[in-house]
Amino acid sequence: PMGSERTEMRKRQMSTTQETPGAAPAQHSTGHRGSNACCFCWCCCCSCSCLTVRNQDEERARRTSHELQAEGIPNCEESPAPTLEEVNAWAQSFDKLMLTPAGRNAFREFLRTEFSEENMLFWMACEELKQESNKSVIEEKARLIYEDYISILSPKEVSLDSRVREVINRNMLEPSQHTFDDAQLQIYTLMHRDSYPRFMNSAIYKDLLRSLSEKSIEA
């Protein structure tokens, strides 16, 4: 009797073991379908759509940036090498730094190390816009500036307060050379107060000053 009971128990265990693998795939398959359903209904669908929109925005931003540069915003302004007197003058005031192409180039190089070069690019774009007189060109450049530096979708959006943004949105109804004047002044002030003091203590400025001083002594 004991032997028969053991045999019966083994049969039951084998039967249970055989049934379990069959059930496991079904459970795994159901879980897999549930995961896919979740993925396609939320994770994948929403993430993919968001990524698609983001990629399109980034591509548009790169395109408008390229178009804007083609309209006259150079990667680096052409200028003669600065003199020692000019570089010393940059330390006297931010205005003197921004008055010369060499000063703007050096400052822009510093802003690039702080990942805030868009501030200088925006300021330069506004200066370019002020030089235009053709209405259609003004409207096109204003649109590009808005998309490149004002739009919250742009990776190069500059930091502006809500009041200035409201002014820009009103001005964009009829763009002119002065559409971004308030915004340009705010970014100029931001660079003056925030970035300029660090630039004066940066290796970029000090190395340039030392190099010109040494050349002056040798001469």
Q: Which of 17-26, 89-98, 103-112, 152-161 has the lowest mean pLDDT?
A: 17-26
Cβ–Cβ under 8 Å, residues 85 and 166: no
H helical segments located in 39-134:
44-70, 84-90, 94-99, 101-113, 117-130
The CATH code for residues 84-218 is 1.10.167.10
24 C-beta neighbours (distance < 10 Å), count: 10
Counting Cα atoms < 13 Å in the Cβ hemisphere of 171 gives 22
Query: Tens of pLDDT along 161-186?
Result: 999 999 999 999 999 999 999 999 99
188 C-beta neighbours (distance < 10 Å), count: 18
Query: Tens of pLDDT along 131-161?
Result: 999 999 999 999 999 999 999 999 999 999 9
Q: What is the pTM of this model?
A: 0.65
Predicted local distance difference test score (pLDDT) of residue 218: 81
Backbone angles phi, psi at 17, to 5 degrees: -65, -40
Which distant-in-sequence residues (6+ apart) come within 8 Å of 67 by Cβ? Answer: 144
Cβ–Cβ under 8 Å, residues 122 and 160: no
Nearest-angstrom CA–CA distance, 126 and 163: 18
Backbone angles phi, psi at 204, to 5 degrees: -60, -50
